[in-house]
């Protein structure tokens, strides 16, 4: 299955709609961060990752580990769309005895690791990447982190070891939306310049627009790193907007785990539907 | 010239050991390292992960023999456990080795989430556990690890008592499909089990039956319980000894049977008295309705731990033939004779 950039961008709109639907239905969720990382996940699962519902148990599959586990609604929406489980299951989000809890768990088909506590994904990714090297496998390991999450010291322990072991099969992605629950990351505990930090830790660094389908696709392209002889792990710093796609949620910290009221919800869906209608009128779905 | 290390055994205790025919073995740490090397030579999927701990873990020969199967991560225990989880998820048989004090405190969240909750079958190996690093002070003691890990779902806890139990649990762990924590020390130990002994994770080993008092002990305190039981036997008392190497899941059947046989039960552990084997047994007794007439938990009390070597600390808190013998006499003096 291949999508044009345009079609993939429109899929992102539909997935954003689904994220809002399930959060509204559950009355809980991490809205802002799910919307900021959604294009990244869309590109990964529909263009980059060598994994499907049929090959999820394959030892040669690419791995995706969502270290910023709280943005799980984006992951659920993308996995359902890719057919890992029926979309209707998302109606149980955060419900009694549902595997669809507020952070990823392996009880959900397609999810590699249980995450939620921050600063855990990158070390696990390093271990998975080392195993790939030891076994001579060519799979790649992708780890998504938030920029606020980078205050956790374990990330930097892992960053050191990834460079030490020349893990060019490891791709860290920073969903760089510059906001965390309290406010601006730079005001909470500044971690800039991120690119220089990762470079000094021995990583190859790419900085992209985290909502640009072509830029993300290019950054994740295997030709650009794994097997390229760089011997370096890659970090893609994806500049994103928290709450992306919904005018009144964009770049506002309170939407970190805000659930829209009925009026806000209607307004948000209308904004997304307007984009979809316009695209339909232009023949984008033809 | 450094002073000789104080003995774990008084001259009297050494004589009792001799009468029992106990042979001095080597540190469990060395038994672990050699067993692991043998396993890794047979299966290249066996890997060991260290945090600048190959020297402390006696893994120098492992590193020399199998450099591709040892992954060094530097002094970074959180990363150590996370990386181990990733390796295990990709099919490796992973032993994550670091001093128990750091591994189970600094990296507790990684053990809880990346290993236990995610069900990555890491073998978490706490070396120089308990008060093995006695004189180095409380930063280097792990008197909390059993309590902390008992409160986490999906991880077995094994504390071997001698070289045999260590060898067997390290081998058995390789085949385990779920997480396990194994902790031991670095002092040489008497060998408690004969060649015919069998070992199963989750199954306590009965060393002696007794009707007056039974010592329910774990790890490197078991030998002291055995010596105490012998010295008490020589005074005409009947003392049982149960080696509860698996602290979780608890072998309820064996523990309750021992409690039914004896008028008094004393638990012994190299751990704080809160949350370890003793309180696990107390909970079991009360909830099962099989309650010994008298019961006592011997371990490290909730206080600033006395300074000194492991032997000094054991002796100070009564984890010795003499201390346990006295505890038994005191307890039995208060038991109603039936």
Separation in Å, CA of B81 to nearest CA in chain A = 8
Measured in whole angstroms, the distance separating CA B10 from the mean position of its chain's CA atoms is: 22
Residues with Cβ < 8 Å from A110, sequence gap 6 or more? A51, A53, A56, A79, A82, A84, A85
Q: What is the CATH number of domain B26-191?
A: 3.40.50.970
Q: Which of these, B52, B46, B116, B40, lies nearest to B85 by C-alpha position?
A: B116
Contact check, Cβ <8 Å, A126/B84: no
Q: What tokens appear for B144 in the block?
A: 């909390």
Buried b (16+ CB within 10 A) or exposed e, B51-87: bebbebbbbeebbeebeebbbbbeebbbbbbbbbbbb
Interface check B325 vs A, CB under 8 A: no
In this prediction the ipTM stands at 0.95
Residues of B in contact with A132 (CB under 8 A): 90
Residues of A in contact with B113 (CB under 8 A): 114-117, 120
Size of interface A-B (CB pairs under 8 A): 101
Give me the residues paired with residue A170 across strands. Answer: A141
Q: Which residue ranges does chain B devote to CATH 3.40.50.920?
A: 11-23+197-331
Please list the pLDDT of chain B residue by residue as tens digits (338 residues). 455 566 899 999 999 999 999 999 999 999 999 999 999 999 999 999 999 988 888 999 999 999 999 999 999 999 999 999 999 999 999 999 999 999 999 999 999 999 999 999 999 999 999 999 999 999 999 999 999 999 999 999 999 999 999 999 999 999 999 999 999 999 999 999 988 899 999 999 999 999 999 999 999 999 999 999 999 999 999 999 999 999 999 999 999 999 999 999 999 999 999 999 999 999 999 999 999 999 999 999 999 999 999 999 999 999 999 999 999 999 998 765 54
Rounded to whole angstroms, the Cα distance separating B113 from A279 reads: 43
B42 is catalytic: no
Residues of B in contact with A154 (CB under 8 A): 76, 78-79, 82, 110
**Choosing from B18, B31, B77, B234, which is the catalytic residue?**
B77
Q: What tokens appear for B75 in the block?
A: 């002094």
Instruction: Return the pLDDT at A285.
Output: 73
Distances from the Cα of B31 to the Cα of B64, B83, B142, angstroms: 17, 25, 21
Q: What share of chain A is helix, strand, coil (3-state, %, to 5)?
A: 50, 10, 40
Instruction: Return the pLDDT at A99.
Output: 96
Instruction: Return the pLDDT at B7.
Output: 85
Instruction: Return the pLDDT at A229.
Output: 61
Contact check, Cβ <8 Å, A160/B85: no
Domain A5-281 class in CATH:
alpha beta
Q: What is the pLDDT of residues A196-234, one digit of tens each?
A: 999 999 999 999 999 999 999 999 998 554 555 678 999
Instruction: Find the CB nearest B85 among A105, A127, A129.
Output: A127
Best residue in A60, A67, A127, A141 to probe B by mutation, most B CBs within 10 Å?
Answer: A127
- Quickly count: other Cβ atoms within 10 Å of residue A263's Cβ: 8
Interface check B88 vs A, CB under 8 A: yes
A51: left (phi over 0), alpha (psi -120 to 50) or beta: beta
Residue B20 burial by Cβ neighbours in a 10 Å radius (0-12, 13-18, 19+): middle
Q: Which of these, B22, B331, B31, B42, lies nearest to B163 by C-alpha position?
A: B31
Q: Which of these, B160, B130, B309, B321, lies nearest to B235 by C-alpha position?
A: B321
In chain A, what are the domain boundaries?
Answer: 5-281
**Would you tell me which residues 206-245 of chain B have a C-beta closer than 8 angstroms to some C-beta of chain A?**
none
Best residue in B90, B98, B179 to probe A by mutation, most A CBs within 10 Å?
Answer: B90
Look up the pTM and report it: 0.95
Domain B11-23+197-331 class in CATH:
alpha beta
Residue B95 burial by Cβ neighbours in a 10 Å radius (0-12, 13-18, 19+): buried
Largest pairwise CA distance in chain B: 64
Q: Which of these, A193, A115, A112, A191, lies nearest to A150 by C-alpha position?
A: A191
Q: Count of H helices and E strands in chain A?
A: 9, 7
Contact B70, B62 (CB under 8 A): yes
Instruction: Return the pLDDT at B11.
Output: 96
Instruction: Return the pLDDT at A249.
Output: 96
Q: Which residue ranges does chain B devote to CATH 3.40.50.970?
A: 26-191
């Amino acid at each position: 299955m291949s999508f044009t950039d345009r079609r993939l961008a429109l899929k992102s709109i539909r997935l954003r709609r689904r994220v809002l639907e399930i959060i509204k239905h559950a009355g809980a969720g991490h809205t802002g961060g799910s919307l900021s990382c959604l294009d990244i996940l869309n590109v990964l699962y529909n263009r980059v990752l060598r994994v499907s519902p049929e090959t999820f148990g394959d030892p040669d599959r690419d791995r995706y580990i969502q270290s910023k586990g709280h943005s799980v609604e984006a992951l659920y929406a993308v996995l359902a769309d890719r057919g890992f489980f029926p979309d209707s299951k998302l109606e149980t989000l955060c419900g009694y005895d549902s595997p669809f809890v507020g952070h990823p768990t392996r009880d959900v088909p397609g999810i590699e690791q249980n995450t939620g506590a921050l600063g855990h994904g990158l070390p696990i990714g390093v271990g998975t990447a080392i195993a790939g090297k030891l076994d001579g496998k060519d799979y790649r390991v992708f780890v998504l982190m938030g920029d606020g999450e980078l205050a956790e010291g374990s990330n930097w322990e892992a960053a050191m070891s990834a460079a030490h072991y020349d893990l060019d099969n490891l791709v860290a992605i920073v969903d760089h939306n510059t906001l965390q629950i309290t406010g601006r990351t730079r005001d909470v505990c500044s971690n800039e310049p991120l690119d220089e930090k990762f470079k000094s830790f021995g990583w190859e660094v790419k900085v992209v627009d985290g909502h640009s389908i072509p830029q993300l696709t290019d950054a994740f392209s295997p030709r650009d790193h794994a097997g390229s002889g760089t011997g370096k792990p890659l970090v893609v710093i994806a500049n994103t907007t928290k709450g992306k796609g919904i005018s009144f949620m964009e770049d506002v910290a309170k939407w970190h785990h805000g659930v829209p009221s009925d009026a806000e919800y209607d307004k948000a869906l209308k904004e997304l539907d307007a984009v979809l209608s316009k695209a339909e009128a232009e023949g984008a779905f033809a | 010239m450094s002073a000789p290390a104080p003995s774990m055994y008084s001259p009297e205790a050494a004589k009792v050991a001799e009468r029992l025919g106990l042979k001095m073995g080597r540190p469990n740490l060395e038994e672990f390292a050699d067993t692991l090397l043998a396993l890794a030579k047979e299966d290249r999927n066996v890997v060991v992960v260290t945090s600048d701990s190959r020297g402390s873990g006696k893994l120098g020969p492992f590193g020399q023999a199998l450099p591709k199967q040892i992954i060094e991560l530097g002094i970074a225990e959180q990363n150590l456990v996370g990386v181990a989880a990733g390796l295990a998820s990709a099919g490796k048989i992973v032993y994550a080795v670091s001093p128990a004090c750091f591994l189970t405190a600094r990296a507790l969240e990684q053990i809880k989430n990346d290993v236990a909750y995610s069900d990555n079958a890491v073998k978490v190996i706490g070396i120089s556990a308990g008060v093995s690093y006695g004189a180095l002070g409380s930063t280097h003691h792990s008197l909390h690890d059993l309590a902390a890990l008992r409160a986490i779902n999906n991880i077995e806890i094994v504390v071997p008592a001698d070289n045999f139990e260590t060898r067997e649990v390290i081998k058995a762990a390789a085949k385990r499909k779920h997480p396990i924590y194994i902790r031991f020390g670095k002092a040489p130990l008497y060998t408690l089990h004969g060649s015919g002994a069998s070992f199963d994770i989750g199954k306590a080993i009965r060393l002696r039956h007794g009707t007056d008092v039974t010592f329910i002990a774990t790890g490197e305190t078991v030998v002291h319980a055995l010596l105490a039981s012998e010295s008490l036997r020589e005074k005409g008392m009947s003392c049982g000894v149960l080696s509860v190497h698996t602290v979780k899941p608890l072998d309820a059947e064996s523990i309750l049977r021992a409690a039914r046989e004896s008028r008094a039960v004393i638990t012994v552990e190299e751990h704080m008295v809160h949350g370890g084997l003793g309180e696990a047994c107390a909970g079991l007794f009360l909830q099962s309705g099989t309650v010994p007439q008298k019961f006592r938990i011997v371990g490290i009390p909730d206080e600033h731990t006395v300074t000194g070597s492991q032997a000094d600390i054991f002796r100070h808190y009564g984890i010795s033939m003499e201390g346990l013998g006295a505890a038994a006499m005191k307890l039995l003096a208060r038991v109603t004779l039936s």
